[in-house]
């Protein structure tokens, strides 16, 4: 009798574990985490995209591993790649890009994250990213700033990143990013000395989401610091902002609220690229 009870208890535990294992990711998706977004048929063969990430590998002095949030790098990468673009990876210091460990694990990992884990070519780019100092602005039609907690430590603080982003924009590229990524625009100034994002509509991660996740000690917070820089900050909310999403298009600047908007932001950047002629005297990287 005891053996039968133990047998059925074991079977019950296995079934519960299986249900949780299979069901929790779907539950999170239904709540709004990494929603599916169809990538329409877009042919950008011959054009190039650049994804820029943090080089910060820890959460300040506590030493907890962090970096780029995986889907904020993988989702735009595959949206660009599958549309025929050549895609390069860059980071503040170059070399190995640190990735937030939890973002690649169950139950958070997205479909693009899983694709990345089987993609040796993409992994090689992540291991040998270009240093932002070395980037040739004339080569890229789209520049995407990936987010994650690491960017709170080195994006807004980098005058080099700021000057590069301003140069990309002046050269006619479509620029943008998601979550903490727009912090990389905080030092991007035009020829008039004004921030190119001043008075522009920008989406990024909210103060509410930061508080809900309990990581309030980072040196920069996107909503707070972007508002202080004079942007028109836009975001949606949910019972937990981890599940909210908003993507904003303001001319050639396209930004997304958080990890849920990576693919949508990338798609809208490509659509803006197709619809926007390059400034006079400046050429796309597309041949011919």
pLDDT at residue 211 tops 80? yes
Residue 32: pLDDT band (50, 70, 90) is: confident
Query: What would the mean pLDDT of 185-210 be, rounded to a whole number?
Result: 97
Q: Which tokens sit at 283?
A: 């050429």
Q: Which tokens sit at 4?
A: 């039968």
pLDDT at residue 10 tops 80? no
How is the chain split into domains, by residue range? 46-275
User: Taking the C-alpha atoms of 38, 113, 141 and 201 in order, what is their torsion angle to the nearest 10 degrees?
Assistant: 70
Q: Cβ-count burial of 115 within 10 angstroms (0-12 exposed, 13-18 middle, 19+ buried)?
A: middle
CA atoms of 288 and 286, how far apart (whole Å): 7
Is the CB of residue 165 less than 8 Å from the CB of residue 190?
A: no
Q: What is the CATH number of domain 46-275?
A: 3.40.50.880
Which residue, chain included where needed, has tokens 């803006």? 272
Q: What is the pLDDT of residues 153-171, one digit of tens each?
A: 999 999 999 999 999 999 9
What pLDDT is stored for residue 224 in this prediction? 98
What pLDDT is stored for residue 61 in this prediction? 76
pLDDT at residue 132 tops 80? yes
Q: What is the pLDDT of residues 48-104, one digit of tens each?
A: 999 999 999 999 878 899 999 999 999 999 999 999 999 999 999 999 999 999 999
Residue 19: pLDDT band (50, 70, 90) is: very low
pTM given for the model: 0.90
């Amino acid at each position: 009798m005891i053996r039968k009870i133990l047998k059925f208890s074991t079977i019950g535990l296995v079934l519960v574990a299986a249900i949780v294992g299979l069901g929790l990711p779907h539950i999170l998706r239904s709540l709004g985490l990494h929603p599916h977004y169809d990538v329409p048929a877009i042919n950008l063969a011959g054009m190039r995209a650049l994804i820029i990430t943090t080089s910060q590998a820890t959460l300040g002095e506590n030493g907890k591993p962090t970096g780029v949030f995986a889907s904020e790098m993988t989702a735009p990468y595959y949206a660009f790649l599958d549309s025929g673009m050549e895609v390069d990876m860059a980071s503040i210091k170059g070399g190995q890009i640190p990735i937030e460990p939890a973002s690649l694990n169950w139950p958070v990992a997205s479909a693009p994250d899983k694709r990345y884990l089987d993609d040796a070519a993409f992994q090689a780019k992540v291991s040998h990213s270009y240093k932002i100092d070395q980037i040739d602005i004339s080569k890229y039609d789209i520049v995407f700033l990936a987010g994650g907690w690491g960017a709170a430590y080195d994006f807004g603080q980098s005058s080099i990143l700021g000057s590069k982003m301003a140069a990309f924009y002046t050269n006619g590229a479509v620029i943008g990013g998601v979550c903490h990524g727009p912090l990389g625009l905080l030092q991007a100034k035009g020829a008039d000395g004004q921030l190119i994002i001043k008075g522009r509509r920008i989406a990024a991660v909210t103060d509410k989401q930061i508080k809900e996740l309990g990581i309030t000690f980072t040196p920069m917070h996107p909503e707070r610091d972007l508002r202080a820089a004079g942007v028109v900050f836009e975001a949606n909310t949910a019972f937990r902002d981890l599940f909210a999403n908003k993507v904003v298009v303001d001319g050639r600047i396209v930004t997304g609220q958080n990890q849920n908007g990576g693919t949508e932001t990338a798609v809208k950047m490509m659509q803006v690229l197709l619809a926007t002629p390059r400034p006079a005297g400046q050429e796309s990287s597309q041949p011919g």
